[in-house]
Amino acid sequence: MDNRPIGIFDSGLGGLTGLKALRELLPEENIVYFADSGRLPYGDKTAGQLRCMAEQNLRFLTGFGVKSILVACGTLSSNAADILAGWPVPTVGVLTSSADWMSRLTGSGPLAVIATEASIRSGGYRKALREVCPHREVVSVGCPDFVPLIESGHTAPGDPLLSEAVRKYLQPVLDSGAEALLLGCTHYGIIEEAITAFLGPEVTLVSAAESGAAALCSLLLKQKMTGGGGKTRFFTSGDPDAFNRSAALFLGEGAGDIQADAVERWEIPQEDRDKI
């Protein structure tokens, strides 16, 4: 039995979709979750900034003696894949795991991926999908408004601002006749209902967060590294009270161990800020 915690990080609420998925697969694990809300959004950062932030966040979680790390962020997974692969702690990003998941789908029609602008600009998702599905067309769309809308609470399927953004960004996906859509940013699972309402139930949605959680679960089981007490510790570089309210709302019944005074703030060191 390995009682060391698992580390998970994202730019904010999106990684909670990975946390939920991992809790369902391995409910006994101890988890340290870091929401880098103070530097949200990641999608407008340069590749250099993102790579630097990836190292900083990995270093922060490694300091807790974690046995593995889930990078529940498509933007960092697609811009810093080599950093994740070379980290001394076993680290799983959502880029490779979600591409692998897409490769298991049957059919021969187009595939689509939506993600932050930085993820799409990196070309990481397109390249990964073409490697595993070489005979299928890949449509990739950046959706810069989705994360700010989700973080500000616009998540209901009938929300006018969200509905407008969904139509704006997903019309090319609809027009392409895509058979499956990869939600390449972990935030997007939170608005899955609105996406399905627009595209229709015949389009298969693949969650980067869920595929990443499944890949990490497989790794831990294979290496016999499971075990723990089912506790979760939350950190944010933003406002702890704001994160607590949003996270508790999103996690619902799974938020029993989230309390306003239990969400801790991590003040990013000035030397790290100066590098961004």
Question: What is d(CA 180, CA 102) in angstroms, rounded to the nearest whole number?
Answer: 8
Q: Where are the domains of the chain?
A: 6-93+211-274, 96-210
- On the question of a common fold for 6-93+211-274 and 96-210, the answer reads yes
If one counts every other C-beta atom within 10 angstroms of the C-beta of residue 262, the result is 12
129: pLDDT strictly greater than 70:
yes
250: pLDDT strictly greater than 90:
no
Query: What DSSP line would sit under 175-219, residue for residue?
Result: HHT-SEEEE-SGGGGGGHHHHHHHH-TTSEEEEHHHHHHHHHHHH
Residue 149 Cα to chain centre, angstroms: 16
* Arithmetic mean of pLDDT, 13-39: 94
Report the chain's mean pLDDT, rounded to a whole number.
93
185: pLDDT strictly greater than 70:
yes
Q: Torsion angle of alpha carbons 169, 189, 80, 40, nearest 10°?
A: 80
Note the pLDDT tens digit of each residue in 82-118: 999 999 999 999 999 999 999 999 899 999 999 999 9
The model's confidence at residue 252, banded by pLDDT at 50, 70 and 90, is low
The model's confidence at residue 187, banded by pLDDT at 50, 70 and 90, is very high
* Residues that are catalytic: 73, 185
Nearest CA to 15 out of 257, 210, 165, 193 is that of 210
Residues 96-210, CATH architecture:
3-Layer(aba) Sandwich (3.40)
Query: What DSSP line would sit under 243-255, residue for residue?
Result: HHHHHHHHHGGGG
Note the pLDDT tens digit of each residue in 229-245: 999 999 999 999 888 88
Fold of 6-93+211-274: Rossmann fold (3.40.50)
